[in-house]
Amino acid sequence: MTVNTLAIIGTGIMGMGIAQIAAQAGIQVLLFDAKAGAAEQGRQSLQATLEKLAAKGKFTDEQLQSTLANLTVIENIAKIAEVDVVIEAIIENLEIKQQLFKQLESIVPAETILATNTSSLAVTAIASDCEHPERVAGFHFFNPVPLMKIVEVIPGISTKPSVVETLTSLAKRMGHLGVVAKDTPGFIVNHGGRAYGTEALKILGEGVASFEDIDLILREGAGFRMGPFELLDLTGIDVSHPVMESVYNQYYSEPRYRPHPLTRQMLIGKKLGRKVGEGFYHYTENKKQDGQKVTVDPSKQLPFKTDSDISNLSVWIGADLAEDKQQLVDYLNANGITIDDNDKPNSDSLILLAIYGDDTTNAAIRYQVNPKQAVAIDMLTDLSKHRTLMPSIVTQDNFVAQAYALFGRSNKFDKSSDEGSNVAVDATLITESTGFVAQRVIAMVINLGCDIAMQGIATPKDIDNAVKLGLGYPYGPISWGDEIGASRILLILERIHGLTGDPRYRPSPWLQRRATLGVSLFTQQNNYSG
């Protein structure tokens, strides 16, 4: 089916974003909103935006006029009777959506596809009162629609395959990648995004590091576009926390999706983020979406100096992986540091432990060394971008200071024009934790992606593309697991699970099997049933 005409019901930000990309693709778009004047207001706002873009040379005047000519405001919903597809983009309320779809069925012919832009409600539930649920599907875009080049196509339990095919083709025509997802809580993107914020909140709740340091580690070290607490502030706690609770409850309290009480408190206390000027961070322009973070000069908080004398330092290395040990040896040699290569470290040597999924105390016991001399270092992230150091609870201050001087000695405080404050980017000290910060978060992101694949919610490729494009991660979870190595991710999870006993960290069988066999996480098994 070729889509020539399309109706948008609901002309808010999402509805008009969809209208824009459809009109730009040459599709005739009818705009309707139940609120009088809202559709015309939405059209005028879009026209102003497009004119600004045209003035900047984003497209020609001819393209501008052609796009605007494809937009028609209607005041009577009955005028949608002959369209090929209707896309609903109204309030996230199941009862209201069900009523709307029953109304739509009374207007349009049987061959018209009815699509919902729902982000959190079951497509099957929305279609449950329809006479023809087979033509109803989810068509979930992300804000801002023109820039977020991904859309989830979600068949309900009765949806015909041809409907899915038509919507997937329509997405491509509008310049977006359509990924097919099962009708499950959170679909792909909102489901796959549960690991990032919830694990960061758990780390914060355990007192492992400040939210500023967690953001720094994950942004600078792991390569995320934004730290989790920056992202929560941007999205808004009033948006993020209900989604956390919704997915958790819909999966019958699955530990992997467990929310944290802190965001519930912030929601109650109305510390919602940028939109109100205060969330995890304070913002200089209250109630402004573009408010800038106010940070504290970290030079006033550094526990140790980076210019301590380490000329006589000797370092003993214990590493889970030979490649990590070699990297540390090369680093020490380049910095003129003596390496203690005895079977057992000297009593005055700094013990450096490159470990995965462990804490410093247990690692020291495992390596049969003195935990008072031990500092662990996270080798999962690029040392040239950031270093995370973790002493044990009994590590003596002189050894902590040595480690900090060794890995933070190149620390420079660069003036950031964006943030207006000085930011240290080379080394962060954290309190003891099973699995550092980046290891925990990245392993949970990858493990959840694998679990989504195991549930058959989408193909591994679609999961990867949806999460990367929809959430802006440096990699999709499946390819990230392959990049790091499935066996390394499995080791992190198994150790954290073993040390904590928390089922939240149990490895997905999808990950376990492929790590054990040494094959790509994209590897799929043939379905022999039926």
- Nearest residue to 70 (alpha-carbon basis) of 43, 49, 48: 43
Among candidate residues 140, 191, 241, 260, the one labeled active-site is 140
Q: Describe the crossing of helices 460-471 and 438-454 by its angle, rounded to 10 degrees.
A: 130
Give how far Cα 438 sits from Cα of 2, 225, 408, 445, Å.
46, 14, 18, 10
Q: Rounded distance, CA 30 to CA 80, Å?
A: 7
Catalytic residue among 152, 220, 278, 432: 152
497 classed as catalytic: no
Going by C-alpha positions, the residue among 157, 147, 151 that lies closest to residue 170 is 151
Q: In the β-sheet with 338-339, what is the strand arrangement from edge to edge?
A: 338-339, 314-319, 350-354, 374-377, 387-391, 427-429
Establish how many alpha carbons lie within 13 A of residue 26's alpha carbon, considering only the half-sphere containing its beta carbon.
6
Which one, of 231, 221, 155, lies nearest residue 200 by Cα?
231
386 is catalytic: no
Q: Is 106 helix (H, G, I), strand (E, B) or coil?
A: coil
Polymer length of the chain: 530
- Determine which one of 70, 119, 349, 411 is catalytic: 119
Helices (H), 174-311: 189-192, 194-205, 211-216, 228-235, 237-250, 261-268
At which residue do the structure tokens 């609120």 appear?
35
Q: Burial level of 110, CB count in 10 A (0-12/13-18/19+)?
A: exposed
Greatest alpha-carbon span in the chain: 84
Mark whether 190 is an active-site residue.
yes
d(CA 75, CA 30): 10
Q: Please count the CA atoms within 13 angstroms of the CA of 381 that sit on its side-chain side.
A: 30
Task: Answer for the pair 379, 485: CB distance below 8 angstroms, yes or no.
Answer: no
Contact assessment for residue 138 and residue 148, using Cβ atoms and an 8 Å cutoff: no
Q: Residue 148 contacts by C-beta under 8 Å, 6 or more apart in sequence?
A: 141, 142, 469, 470
- Rounded to whole angstroms, the Cα distance separating 351 from 283 reads 42
Which one of 190, 240, 349, 411 is the catalytic residue?
190
Q: What is the CA radius of gyration of the chain?
A: 26
Query: Quick one: tokens of 468?
Result: 């990367």
Which residues are designated catalytic?
Answer: 119, 140, 152, 190
